[in-house]
Amino acid sequence: MNLNKLTISQASDGLQNKDFSSVELTKACLDRIKETDDKIKSFITVTENYALLEAKKADQKIKAGDKKDDLLLGVPCSIKDIILTKDILTTAASNILKDYIPPYDATLISKLKKRGMVMLGKVNCDAFAHGASTENSDFFTTHNPLDLERVPGGSSGGSASSVASDQCFYSIGTDTGGSIRQPAAFCGVVGLKPTYGRISRYGLISMTSSTDCPSIMTKNVSDAALILKELAGKDKLDATSSDQKIDDYFELLKDENIKNLKIGVPKEYFIDELNSEIKNAVQNAIKKLEKLGAEIVEISLPHTKYAVPTYYIITPSEISSNLARFDGIKYGYSEIKSQKLKVKSLADVYLKSRASGFGSEAKRRIILGTYALSSGYYDAYYLQAQKARALIKKDFDDAFKKVDVIITPTSPNVAFKIGEHNDNPLELYMEDIFLSAASLAGVPAISIPCGFAKPKNGKIEMPIGMQIIGKHFDEKTILKTAGIYEKSRD
């Protein structure tokens, strides 16, 4: 049996029944990483010794018979390299942080450690999570395990590739404007972005503070449900975290009745640009849910077309501010040393370390954001974008008066080829067309696989993702809908 192919629940059952140990699970994953990662390139850092040590500790706890309800205990995972891990290299896949060892853990890491986390390592992403393909990583591009010529999506591409290729059982990443949902769709796994504030942001390397969400990638819906319960909750270290009621999402999935569920289908998401196979697959999935008892309602989210432009004003604005902390003195100086750059003054150190430490996408966003926030342009860009954002949020508020969940495709296309959008960053921004609105509104959304489609320029069929969007803090209903669909699927 390939232990690394199990789901979290299966692995946890096996551990508690003593069918195998956490050390065996961990070794199976490490072997898989050794076997595949020179081609896939999910990992920036593999923490082999640390993982084996934690696995041993988990086995001792299991042997002692305590922690029976701890379903994550001893189950190996990967963590996106934008989440701080104490004493373990955390780079944000950027040159400016390529030697950065954090002195503390993100809150979500502290929580997972309490649950007996076995972390296999830190996985690749677009630098500072700016992107949709991992091609913006300052180190290397991750490959889609289903077709190595294609991207895994991004920015949490290493999370998606590591879960999809059974290198680990789950991964924690971030979703600021689609970075969990789109790679989950491209690699054929489940990606859950909770409501903004549901999981503490403390210890993330900030991208866009007003939309950053720690998010979950798993092989199935129930695994995502059980992780959400562990990570959710108020954190005194993050003032934007919420104390809204946390449900037992895993238990609630046992209720399979969707008789009273109203599903909204927004016409703005089923446009001509949408690949027709994706359109059919998502429509078939909706029909299946209708057969199972749900009511389907056509709705409109009229400001959808403003979501991408709004997102690409607000995001760079916040990025230009957040990246200012990497001041070129405290961070980035090692670049000057390693590249043996000559410096004339302190100002020169500042300029050269930022110039060599930031990649072109980070620079593009710093420049765009600084421009949008500058006096004279603020009203025309940033303020206007905030007004549009309010309208986008109102679209969802209005829709959720009529329906319980909204279903859309996750992405207008399946995974594209590495390099396909290299000439034009705008093309890559347009990949976010179905993702940005939920992020701006702060509502929860999940992407689950719903079929396969052949890309225009390829022979291998690639997975299609279906997005289910919910009301603020109503993760339980999107998980339930996703879970019921997943069970009904061939």
The footprint of ligand GLN (CB under 6 A) covers 129-132, 155, 174-179, 207, 315, 432
Residue among 132 and 146 whose Cβ is closer to ligand GLN:
132
User: Can you tell me the distance from the alpha carbon of 62 to that of 93, in angstroms, rounded to the nearest whole number?
Assistant: 35
In the complex, minimum distance from the CB of residue 125 to ligand GLN, in angstroms, rounded to a whole number: 8
Residue among 196 and 485 whose Cβ is closer to ligand GLN:
196
Calculate the alpha carbon distances from 168 to 7, 301, 337 in Å.
9, 37, 36
Region for 121 from its dihedrals, namely left if φ exceeds 0, alpha if ψ lies in -120 to 50, beta otherwise:
left
User: Can you tell me the distance from the alpha carbon of 79 to that of 121, in angstroms, rounded to the nearest whole number?
Assistant: 6
In the complex, minimum distance from the CB of residue 214 to ligand GLN, in angstroms, rounded to a whole number: 11
Residue among 247 and 420 whose Cβ is closer to ligand GLN:
420
**For 96, phi and psi rounded to 5 degrees?**
-65, -25
Residue among 26 and 144 whose Cβ is closer to ligand GLN:
144
161 token code pair: 């590739």
- Closest-CB residue for ligand GLN? 179
Active site residues: 80, 155, 179
In the complex, minimum distance from the CB of residue 396 to ligand GLN, in angstroms, rounded to a whole number: 18
In the complex, minimum distance from the CB of residue 129 to ligand GLN, in angstroms, rounded to a whole number: 4
21 with 27: CB under 8 angstroms?
no
Residue among 51 and 207 whose Cβ is closer to ligand GLN:
207
**For 268, phi and psi rounded to 5 degrees?**
-65, -15
Residue among 214 and 264 whose Cβ is closer to ligand GLN:
214
In the complex, minimum distance from the CB of residue 90 to ligand GLN, in angstroms, rounded to a whole number: 16
User: Can you tell me the distance from the alpha carbon of 180 to that of 247, in angstroms, rounded to the nearest whole number?
Assistant: 22
487 token code pair: 């069970």
In the complex, minimum distance from the CB of residue 178 to ligand GLN, in angstroms, rounded to a whole number: 5
Q: Residue 11 CA to chain centroid, in angstroms? A: 23
Amino acid at residue number 162 = S
User: For the purposes of burial, counting CB atoms within 10 Å of the CB of 209, is it exposed (0-12), middle (13-18) or buried (19 or more)?
Assistant: middle
In the complex, minimum distance from the CB of residue 172 to ligand GLN, in angstroms, rounded to a whole number: 14
Residue among 26 and 410 whose Cβ is closer to ligand GLN:
410
